[in-house]
């Protein structure tokens, strides 16, 4: 058996912890060939890095991410830092010849994303981006259903990703409100997942006609209480046309009171419709026009071992996977790409494609009409 | 006690039957002051009119709707004919000095609608249009919730009305596919209800940026099987801005496989969110950000006697109203307007406002950007 | 065409109003052959009867129900009075040679029920009892599904009817708490419907092992506030065995906080399961084990014109029927039985069968074990 | 920091794998003090044990479980073997002075369970049993809600655990059908969880009146196809009385077509009701009678970091935990009990209490009436 893949992790916040937990689980879940050795953890200071390494089961720690990138005992650099650091770190890792696995979004803007995707393309290493929601067995089976033609010809889709983490006008100003730290707002944070899922299920976006809204234009600094202007969108919506000609809509919000992980897709075909909602991530709703008359209705399919990747977690149906399990599948995909030399799905090229659509939504909103995704300007 | 209001009904199809059933129920349900006497029914031929009158409990019948309009024993003319006949009949009834109650849409296009609304305005009689869905107790309570500020400041809304009655590409060509008989497609048939509900809950629409799609561009004649071009939209979507400044979206479709009466609204505020779906018409879902931490969640409120108009049907909560009950409420509203001399809600002026928004969606779609509703061209 | 059936209504409370509304609707809904003429209404005083007659659209009124029973211009006596009056009135009507339509429960106890069922059997007239929930198109289709074998061999069922109208310990003492006015408590009020639905879907009950509970043993008189002992059950549960050998359970409560009309059935077969809940009365959930692997799940079937009796109300699917519509179907059944001379479904014999099961639950609870329904003692 | 707890795992099937995955996650999830070192894995043969150890990340392996129990480098023996092996192995581990963590059910019958619980009591080590479902944050919060009196006085409960893994009559004969290998059927496999959850939420069961059913009395051997008699229950139901006096019901089935993990609880109080269903394990439904009139309804509370133990997995609400995460919480509990010296919850004494209730259900069913749980016979 091959030796375990040696990983270094940069960042130990929300995503860093999720990645660490998943790295420990991926071997026992998917088998020894996907085992990861948690070698080195980098954080903002030696002390915090040491604490995180101990807690998250990494052998060594460092307060300097560049040290991690340069470490000869590491095969894979995993980047879980705030958005504005992604590009620099990923680039450094690519230059160091490491495989790179970076949380979304790829970068802060289109220029950075292009540079990064090109560097990745030239590098020869495997590169992957953390769009975990498409790893869900129910999303994978949704794709199978669509591609097998079970819905007939696709005629429309509606995608949304809405949450309420900034729904309260009194929610404080954070780095997420700042262009140079976060890029766009709800669009980058949530919309990027939605666009990726649309690509995964239905193929590339060709044109958009978007609108972006900053409802709460000022927020208070958490310490001083001083009001600061919010620099990016609370909500972003778009009319969409796919390369396939199919039309649809996007609805993205970080101020949708009551929604906690409202990433949902609805795909209409001539013979059926499917709907998915991450808040009920173990369910897929499927309507088949070909069911018998008087017996038609949306089926609530519960995730089970007959769906992709579920059986690795549990042999019994309906017992339920969780969000962290999606990271385990994602990391399995990363390891598999490295082992086989095949392109990871999704990779930096997909990160760039997603960025192009986000930019198109912002630019079309600014000019007030439709814009081709391949005509966005850097 | 006042004598019963004497009504004449034109048309005995889907809507005509629903109106007739409701006319017989309105007195027993809401009390004798709302009683209607079913005097005269007009249909396309004397024979069909006679059959319908007997079946639907009308005293007399006629094959000539003009006779009905002229009948001195009738106070109220109720128009339930196909869309292209609404304008002419309503105008004749107004001229004859009758109160007029007309099914939606008011007319086929903006010019007709303006003429009709102006005639109604000048007439001095009561005029009403059949947007029954806003009569639902749960929609009425939704309005109370919004207006009382229970959701805080409104920040966004999403409305859809999707059905699948033409979802099958093999569904035959009908009058609904023809501009001069139906006006627009899904937009007039379904979108009109959605726009009216938006007005009712959130106030006037100021600007739209729409797109309209005819996915199935040809359909087969039912008898000959000959392919005929479909002249109006299967789907219509729009980005929307209300006069209040609140943004939202519309999604209208007659080809949304699996949906049967998918008229749904989602309204987000800073302190709460409500959602409604006509397919579960006895439920309103309400999220309150002010509920205790760890106990927040969407409440599924079941319709009951504490909600507007429910108690007239049933003193026990959760027992459920049906679509025909909404017509009973609507007709009570019509009778009340006539009895009190107050404006009916919704009246022909609202029918015109709805038509303006529909026209704006079509015109903005044609020009590919935003359009102010008050700038549409006739 | 036959003349309209001439009806007299006794009682104008909750049920009386529902019957009156339905009587006016049944003709327009199902056709002239089912038309009812609302001739005479009896209530507790001449004044209240007159008010009710006027409001509910009856031609005449009386303060003496015996006058109504004796009236030669009445074909059908409809009894909507409190439980303890059912037996005397129904018997008088049978003796007078009238068709009788009586709200449930048939009587206060087994002895009364036997007497009444025997009198009805001897009378030669049509007799019917108001178990309206089985008139629901979705319950009718549930029966078709079961009888057609679509669920395979039935292996178990679970029925419940739970509400919360006495859930608050401070809810006042009413006639419903009193044995000689109400008979049993939740069992008679709600359980009777559940037992009837079980009979309708699955056939006769053979044996039960029940328990009855009076949780709130005293309640306050509404005026004096004096505490009075509650004489019947708040909750009644039973293990059940059907004549077919299939086992199941009953769960009945009037103190189930949060439930408003929680009449639900779950039927398990070897090839499928169906569930129904009156609080979502327009839905039937159906699981088919024979659906393709990975595509199985409970279908939520929306009521539509392809289901029994729905089309009479509305040609469009998913638009929703309400509780009052079930009464319209029930009254159509009554008129049809009278017109055709066939037994009404359900009739007084069914009322007696239901009473036997209720008595068996109470007697088995008293003795603490299983009891055959045909071995209950009067 | 303390050294990691050294664990040996016996068995690598469904549960063995789940335990192994969780052992690797518990440290990164809950912190270094809960870290487990995966030392030794025992399986039925040296070869299978070696394969499993490699795949599941255990350092060593053995084909002889007695070797594992005797290993001086192991602190905790984790038993994930088929039911009939639990007692012997657990006893051996207790005798060897190891902490013991055993999958449910504790043993095959009451006599074994008593012996085991007594041995555990005497041993001085920590002992725990794998009732993972009560580890769910939403079940933990349900308990808090009940104990804080948020539902008022509890008046009733209904618990069910139904699945369909043997719903097909053609499902083959397995060890689960055999008394001496499995003990009771659905009752031991599923009912044990339900009884434990009832204990956890509502306290001890005092009396039961049960019924057990073997619907499919013969099943075919998988290889030979020969029919063999099924020796235990497909379904078990009971009327229940808790020590608190509260009544309720149990419904357990392994042939409930369509249900995959249907462990559900409904608890009614005078001021509220809560319902939970493991198939939507991230939701708790809560009804509060004290909400404002017209605004009452079941709230669907989504799991989030404000609920017990959720935050260790994810800082964002509504993102969803999975079944394997419950095992992580359970193992954290086991490690914590060992670290603190406090009793584990649930321990072998709870395993015995659950067995007593299961035995009472079977014995009450045999005798056809109510039985006190403390009067069951060995």
A134-321+331-344+354-367: CATH number: 3.30.360.10
Q: How many angstroms separate the CA of residue D119 from the nearest CA in chain B?
A: 41
The rounded radius of gyration (Å) of the Cα atoms in chain C is 21
Which of D27, D317, D281, D25 has its CA nearest to residue A14?
A: D317
Euclidean distance between CA atoms B36 and B9, whole angstroms? 12
- Other beta carbons within 10 Å of A290: 9
Asked if D294's CB is within 8 angstroms of B304's CB, the reply is: yes
Q: Which residues from C are below 8 Å from D when comparing CB atoms? A: 151-153, 155-156, 158, 164, 167-169, 209, 211, 213, 215, 234-235, 237-239, 247, 249, 251, 253, 255-259, 268-273, 287, 289, 296, 298, 368-370
Contact C249 D237 (CB under 8 A): yes
Q: Give the orientation angle of helix B348-367 with respect to helix B110-123, to 10 degrees.
A: 160
Residues B294, D301: C-beta atoms closer than 8 Å: yes
Q: Which of A153, A235, A239 sits opposite B156 (nearest CB)?
A: A235
CA neighbor of A293 nearest in space, from B69, B282, C299, C133: C299
- List, for residues B321-356, the tens digit of each pLDDT value: 999 999 999 999 999 999 999 998 899 999 999 999
Q: Which chains touch B (3 or more CB pairs under 8 A)?
A: A, C, D
Give A295→chain C minimum CA distance, Å.
Answer: 6
CB atoms within 10 A of CB C175: 11
Between strands D247-253 and D235-242, the pairing is antiparallel
Q: What is the pLDDT of residues C272-307, one digit of tens each?
A: 999 999 999 999 999 999 999 999 999 999 999 999
Q: Distance (Å, rounded) from C-alpha B322 to C-alpha B80?
A: 20
Q: How far is B318 from chain D (nearest CA, A)?
A: 11
Q: How far apart are CA A89 and CA A110, in angstroms?
A: 17
Whole-number Å distance between alpha carbons of C225 and D280: 44
Locate the chain D residue with the closest alpha carbon to B138: D294
Query: Nearest CB to A322: which of D32, D316, D325?
Result: D325
Alpha-carbon distance values, C8 to A50, A341, B348, C66, D31 (Å): 87, 85, 42, 11, 77
Nearest Cα neighbor of C298 from C318, C316, C283 is C283
The confidence score (pLDDT) of residue D2 equals 62
Cβ-defined contact of B300 to D304 (cutoff 8 Å): no
A240 contacts A160 by C-beta, under 8 angstroms = no
Instruction: Take residue B221 and report the two structure tokens written for it.
Output: 């004649």
The per-residue pLDDT for range A47-84, each reduced to its tens digit, is 999 999 999 999 999 999 999 999 999 999 999 999 99
- For residue D224, what are the β-bridge partners? none
Contact C295 A307 (CB under 8 A): no
Residues contacting residue D101 through CB under 8 Å, at least 6 positions apart: D76, D77, D78, D79, D127, D128, D129, D130, D331, D334
Record the tokens describing residue D206, joined without a space.
């005092």
Taking contacts as CB-CB distances below 8 angstroms, the residues of chain D near C167 are 268, 270, 289
**Minimal Cβ distance to B268: which of A257, A296, A368:** A257
**Which of B145, B288, B297, B300 to probe by mutation at the D interface, max D CB count within 10 Å?**
B297
Taking an 8 Å cut-off on Cβ atoms, the answer to whether D299 and B298 are in contact is yes
User: Helices C323-340 and C14-30, interaxial angle, to 10°?
Assistant: 70
Cα A154-A160-A166 angle, rounded to 5 deg? 175
Cβ separation of B155 and A370 shorter than 8 Å?
A: no
List, by residue range, all CATH 3.30.360.10 domains of chain A: 134-321+331-344+354-367
Find chains touching chain C: ≥3 CB pairs under 8 Å.
A, B, D
Mutation test of the interface with chain A: which of B145, B207, B258, B264, choosing the one with the most A Cβ atoms within 10 A? Answer: B258
* Chain B contact probe: residue of C58, C323, C332 with most B CBs at under 10 A: C323
Chain position carrying tokens 């059913």: D213
Q: Is residue A112 within 8 Å of A44, Cβ to Cβ?
A: no
Can you tell me the distance from the alpha carbon of C29 to that of B17, in angstroms, rounded to the nearest whole number?
A: 8
Across the range A87-96, mean pLDDT stands at 97
Residue A194's pLDDT band (cuts 50, 70, 90): very high
Q: Which residues contact B22 (CB under 8 A, 6 or more apart)?
A: B324, B327, B328, B330, B331
CA gap B368, A283 in Å, rounded: 37
In this structure, whether the domain defined by C5-131 belongs to CATH 3.40.50.12280 is answered with: no
Contact C200, C159 (CB under 8 A): no
Which residue in chain D is spatially nearest to B307 when comparing CA positions?
D294
**Chain D: closest CA distance from residue A210 (Å):** 27
Token pair belonging to C60: 């005449």
Local confidence pLDDT in tens for the 378 residues of chain D: 568 999 999 999 989 999 999 999 999 999 999 999 999 999 999 999 999 999 999 999 999 999 999 999 999 999 999 999 999 999 999 999 999 999 998 899 999 999 999 999 999 999 999 999 999 999 999 999 999 999 999 999 999 999 999 999 999 999 999 999 999 999 999 999 999 999 999 999 999 999 999 999 999 999 999 999 999 999 999 999 999 999 999 999 999 999 999 999 999 999 999 999 999 999 999 999 999 999 999 999 999 999 999 999 999 999 999 999 999 999 999 999 999 999 988 999 999 999 999 999 999 999 999 999 999 998
Mean pLDDT of chain A: 96
In this structure, the number of other CB atoms found within 10 A of the CB of residue D38 comes to 22
The residues on A that touch D, with CB distances below 8 Å, are 1, 14, 17-18, 20-21, 24-25, 27-29, 31-32, 35, 54-57, 165, 259-262, 278-282, 302, 304, 313-325
Each residue's pLDDT, cut to its tens digit, for chain B (378 residues) gives: 568 999 999 999 989 999 999 999 999 999 999 999 999 999 999 999 999 999 999 999 999 999 999 999 999 999 999 999 999 999 999 999 999 999 998 899 999 999 999 999 999 999 999 999 999 999 999 999 999 999 999 999 999 999 999 999 999 999 999 999 999 999 999 999 999 999 999 999 999 999 999 999 999 999 999 999 999 999 999 999 999 999 999 999 999 999 999 999 999 999 999 999 999 999 999 999 999 999 999 999 999 999 999 999 999 999 999 999 999 999 999 999 999 999 988 999 999 999 999 999 999 999 999 999 999 998
| Token pair listed for B321 | 């109203």
- Cβ atoms of B316 and C14 closer than 8 Å: yes
Task: Write out chain B residues lying below 8 Å of C319, CB-based.
Answer: 260-261, 278, 322-323
Q: Structure tokens of C305?
A: 């014109």
SS3 track for chain A = CCCCEEEEEECCCHHHHHHHHHHHHHHHHHCHHHCEEEEEEECCCHHHHHHHHHHHCCCEEECCHHHHHHCCCCCEEEECCCHHHHHHHHHHHHHCCCEEEEECCCCCCHHHHHHHHHHHHHHCCCEEEECHHHHCHHHHHHHHHHHCCCCCCEEEEEEEEECCCCCCCCCCCCHHHCHHHHCCCHHHHHHHHHHHHHHHHHCCEEEEEEEEECCCCEEECCCCCCEEECCCCCEEEEEEEECCCCEEEEEEECCCCCCCCEEEEEEEECCEEEEEEHHHCCEEEEEECCCCCCCCCEEEEECCCCCCCHHHCCCCCCCCCCHHHHHHHHHHHHHHHHHHCCCCCCCHHHHHHHHHHHHHHHHHHHHCECEEHHHCCC
Q: What are the angstrom distances between the C-alpha of C340 and each of A1, B315, C34, C343, C351?
A: 82, 34, 11, 9, 21
* Cα dist from C370 to A374, C209, C357, C363, whole Å: 76, 4, 12, 9
Q: Please report all neighbours of D, defined by 3+ CB atom pairs within 8 A.
A: A, B, C
Q: How many residue contacts between A and D have a Cβ separation below 8 Å?
A: 135
Which residues, other chains included, contact C366 with Cβ-Cβ below 8 Å and sequence gap of 6+?
none
Burial class (CB in 10 A: 0-12, 13-18, 19+), B115: middle
DSSP D295-335: ---EEEEEP-TTSTTGGGT-SSTTS---HHHHHHHHHHHHH
CA Rg value for chain D: 21
**Alpha carbon C139 to chain centroid, angstroms:** 13
- Which residue shows structure tokens 């008022």? D152
For D232-259, b where at least 16 C-beta lie within 10 A, e where not — what string? bbbbbbbbbbbeeebbbbbbbbbbbbbb
From the list C293, C294, C299, which residue is nearest A298 (CB)? C299
Shortest CA distance from B263: residue in chain C: C319
**Distance to chain D for A235, nearest Cα, Å:** 19
Q: Is A99 exposed, middle or buried (0-12, 13-18, 19+ CB in 10 A)?
A: buried
In contact, D9 and D52? CB cutoff 8 Å: no
For C176-187, the pLDDT digits (tens) are 999 999 999 999
User: How far apart are alpha carbons B284 and B357 in whole angstroms?
Assistant: 26
* Nearest residue to A194 (alpha-carbon basis) of A205, A182, A183: A205
Report d(CA A356, CA A152) in Å as an integer: 29
For D132, half-sphere exposure in the C-beta direction (CA atoms, 13 angstrom radius) is 21
ipTM: 0.96
| C277, two tokens | 């809940």
User: Tell me: the pLDDT tens digits for C104-138?
Assistant: 988 999 999 999 999 999 999 999 999 999 999 99
Asked whether the beta carbons of B104 and B192 are under 8 A apart, the reply is yes
Q: Which of C5, C15, C24 is the mutation pick for testing B, counting most B CBs within 10 A? A: C24
Chain B residues with beta carbon closer than 8 angstroms to that of D317: none
User: Which residue intervals of chain B bear CATH 3.40.50.720?
Assistant: 5-131
> In chain B, which residue's Cα lies nearest the Cα of A214?
B155
Q: Which residues pair with C300 in a beta bridge?
A: A298, C285
Q: Work out the percent of chain A whose per-residue pLDDT is above 90.
A: 97
Rounded Cα distance, D127 and D117, in Å: 9
Helix (H) or strand (E) holding C93: helix C86-95
């Amino acid at each position: 058996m091959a030796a375990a893949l040696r990983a270094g992790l940069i960042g130990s916040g929300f995503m860093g912890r999720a990645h660490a937990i998943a790295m420990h689980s991926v071997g026992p879940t998917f088998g020894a060939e996907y085992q990861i050795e948690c070698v080195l953890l980098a954080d903002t200071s030696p002390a915090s890095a040491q604490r995180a390494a101990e807690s998250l089961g990494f052998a060594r720690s460092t307060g300097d991410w560049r040290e991690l990138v340069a470490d000869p005992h590491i095969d894979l650099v995993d980047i879980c830092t705030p958005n504005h650091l992604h590009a620099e770190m990923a680039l450094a890792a690519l230059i160091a010849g490491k495989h790179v696995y970076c949380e979304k979004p790829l970068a802060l803007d289109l220029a950075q994303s292009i540079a990064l995707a090109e560097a990745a393309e030239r590098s020869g290493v495997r590169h992957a981006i953390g769009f975990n929601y498409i790893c869900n067995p129910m999303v994978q089976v949704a794709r199978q259903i669509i591609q097998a033609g079970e819905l007939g010809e696709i005629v429309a889709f509606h995608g949304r990703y809405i949450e309420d983490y900034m729904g309260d006008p009194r929610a404080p100003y954070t780095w997420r409100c700042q262009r140079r730290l976060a890029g766009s707002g709800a669009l980058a944070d949530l919309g990027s997942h939605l666009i990726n899922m649309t690509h995964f299920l239905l193929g590339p976006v060709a044109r958009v006609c978007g609108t972006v809204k900053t409802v709460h234009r000022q927020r208070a600094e958490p310490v001083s209480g001083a009001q600061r202007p919010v620099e990016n969108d609370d909500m972003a919506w778009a009319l969409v046309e796919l390369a396939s000609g199919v039309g649809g809509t996007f609805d993205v919000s970080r101020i949708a009171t009551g929604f906690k992980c409202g990433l949902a897709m609805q795909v209409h075909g001539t013979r059926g419709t499917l709907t998915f909602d991450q808040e009920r991530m173990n369910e897929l709703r499927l309507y088949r026009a070909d069911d018998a008359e008087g017996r038609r209705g949306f089926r609530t399919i519960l995730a089970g071992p007959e769906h992709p990747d579920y059986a690795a977690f549990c042999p019994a149906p309906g017992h339920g996977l969780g969000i962290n399990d999606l990271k385990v599948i994602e990391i399995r995909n990363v390891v598999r790409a490295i082992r086989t030399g095949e392109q990871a799905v999704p990779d930096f090229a997909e990160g760039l494609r997603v960025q192009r659509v986000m930019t198109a939504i912002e630019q079309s909103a600014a000019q007030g009409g439709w814009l081709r995704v391949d005509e966005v300007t850097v």
